[in-house]
Amino acid sequence: MKLYCLSGHPTLPCNVLKFKSTTIMLDCGLDMTSTLNFLPLPLVQSPRLSNLPSWSLKDGNAFLDKELKECSGHVFVDSVPEFCLPETELIDLSTVDVILISNYHCMMALPYITEHTGFTGTVYATEPTLQIGRLLMEELVNFIERVPKAQSASFWKNKDVQRLLPSPLKDAVEVSTWRRCYSMQEVNSALSKIQLVGYSQKIELFGAVQVTPLSSGYALGSSNWVIQSHYEKVSYVSGSSLLTTHPQPMDQASLKNSDVLILTGLTQIPTANPDGMVGEFCSNLALTVRNGGNVLVPCYPSGVIYDLLECLYQYIDSAGLSNVPFYFISPVANSSLEFSQIFAEWLCHNKQTKVYLPEPPFPHAELIQTNKLKHYPSIHGDFSNDFRQPCVVFTGHPSLRFGDVVHFLELWGKSSLNTVIFTEPDFSYLEALAPYQPLAMKCIYCPIDTRLNFIQVSNLLKEVQPLHVVCPEQYTQPPPTQSHRMDLMIDCQPPAMSYHRAEVLALPFKRRYEKIEIMPELADSLVPIEIKPGISLATVSAVLHTKDNKHVLQPPPRPTQPTSGKKRKRVSDDIPDCKVLKPLLSGSIPVEQFVQTLEKHGFSDIKVEDTAKGHIVLLQEAETLIQIEEDSTHIICDSDEMLRVRLRDLVLKFLQKF
């Protein structure tokens, strides 16, 4: 059993598991942090961004002039932003049989995999994952396509050139594999390969293994996966949460008794507790608006925003914010808000019950009805007519490189009355803000990550007790910025196996058993002999028939009467020989008693040595050695057949025959 690790990002995993005869891809996350190296794509012509000075090499060579621009001491690529794909060379991705998606954030690389690698398999995901994943992709494509950029920089990627660039460009990994965003056509084609599944539904893969999605509690439709055969169980935990937010709670019980548990997608901010962060978010928002400033919240169009809107719904009256407009701007804002209300079966119990009242599960419906929350596909159009300040704007993209957020940063960045509050933990806020410097706007970092923290992981592992844990290497040591926080790493016994990008991991357990069915007529012919109370054995002679990973023992074909015996039989016609079999032996040899027996039979000078697998009995006088192991016994003596037979018979006395 092997695990091919195609992504180094712990929360945007992409792993391929080879298990029995299947090849299963677990998630295909897209690392978008690469876009931080690019200049933002402004929706409205920005004189500041278009007039940034070019950056050139120290030797004065100016061939990079067009590609690299400098802003406040940082160098950015002036080109269409590009993403860092999962590793494509480590394994032939056309051999992947299925892709299991655990949540909508972890499927953003799907079009690259399904459309460009020869992939012919099936993708499994829940309905909300598909629908919201589609929204995220649609938004991404929209953000990038609506600001066409003629230029696509490539000189800087040259290895010899890259070496000469300043950090962080110099240290960017695998830049040659970075790709531009996919098109809507590719998205549609990729998503058409998804087959929808429900929680706890069992899906057979070629008869070899069964995969089952389980609720993971992190997002609408988010799942963990159990991959099991008759005797082995691998659990894949990705992006799970134990907090009571909007999704269905996490199903922990079904993860029990796993041989291997692959653990990814823990919280990216282990020191920040989401409750505290929500508090911080609300208070900063209130203080800014009270002072006449605007609040900008860069966010994804789905997920935490639902919970934030719910908190604000309860909070705005107490904080005297009832008259402040809240704007949600995204090409998919409308669909996202509406979708959230229709996936009742995927919601937590509390919200599910509201559907029968009948009330919308999320209170943002009421915010929209009362005109407190307004949503727009973009800043163009209706929004510019309705826009009123001070206000709170939720918009994408959290990387601050594309989307409407770019415009608001340009608009509000110069005033210290305004505040940008970062709630998405995926991007370093300082790096995200780098091309906007110098910035007068206040910046507040309130990352809200509801995924498991290390205490919860430790309790989870105690609860489900997997034999082995496999996780990204980042989880096996404290975060580099807080190297003394030994509590911020996975602590389990045996220690977790870690992986990094482009590593192939042999998972530390061997398959030992395979289930074989026996045909009724064959079973009928067996005559078991009881060798121990409760244990009966029988010898079986049969033909093993294997098809579609199912193994069946069938009765051997009757030996055909030798007709004209002279005709040479073709080898392929050979039927198995049903020879008279030697009796089979069972039992174990108690060494002490065996030695006593040897002594009784006249052997002296006996020495017993313990070995790793059993014992060696040395008959020094006879220059003979009896090696007793769990499943074999060897008598080694020099050409004294009589002695060997005597000893053999003594050994056999201790064993049962049938």
The residues of the shown chain that bind another protein, judged by CB under 8 A, are 271-273, 275-280, 282-284, 286-287, 290-291, 311, 314-315, 317-320, 446, 455, 482, 484-487
Q: Do 75 and 156 meet the contact criterion of CB atoms below 8 Å apart?
A: no
Name the token pair of 91: 């394994």
Q: Which residues contact 34 (CB under 8 A, 6 or more apart)?
A: 81, 82, 83, 84, 172, 178
Shortest CB 447 distance to another protein, Å: 11
Shortest CB 484 distance to another protein, Å: 5
Distances (CA, A) of 222 to 102, 198, 214, 254: 5, 11, 8, 15
Shortest CB 340 distance to another protein, Å: 21
Provide DSSP, 1-53: -EEEE----TTS--EEEEETTEEEEE----BGGGGGGB----SS--HHHHTPP
| The dihedral sign for the CA sequence 55, 58, 64, 66 | positive
Judged by beta carbon, residue 141 or residue 446, the one nearer another protein is 446
Distances (CA, A) of 553 to 144, 208, 424, 528, 546: 59, 17, 56, 17, 9
Q: Do 619 and 552 meet the contact criterion of CB atoms below 8 Å apart?
A: no
Judged by beta carbon, residue 341 or residue 456, the one nearer another protein is 456
Q: Which residues contact 275 (CB under 8 A, 6 or more apart)?
A: none
CA 443 to chain CA centroid, Å, is 32
CA 23 to chain CA centroid, Å, is 14
Judged by beta carbon, residue 69 or residue 451, the one nearer another protein is 451
Judged by beta carbon, residue 14 or residue 295, the one nearer another protein is 295
Shortest CB 166 distance to another protein, Å: 30
Reported residue count of the chain is 658
Judged by beta carbon, residue 286 or residue 409, the one nearer another protein is 286
Shortest CB 473 distance to another protein, Å: 20
Judged by beta carbon, residue 96 or residue 242, the one nearer another protein is 242
Shortest CB 291 distance to another protein, Å: 8
Distances (CA, A) of 196 to 30, 191, 199, 435, 593: 21, 11, 10, 41, 64
CA 405 to chain CA centroid, Å, is 29
Shortest CB 369 distance to another protein, Å: 20
Name the token pair of 166: 């300043």
Judged by beta carbon, residue 281 or residue 394, the one nearer another protein is 281
Shortest CB 73 distance to another protein, Å: 29
Judged by beta carbon, residue 292 or residue 559, the one nearer another protein is 292
Judged by beta carbon, residue 323 or residue 525, the one nearer another protein is 323
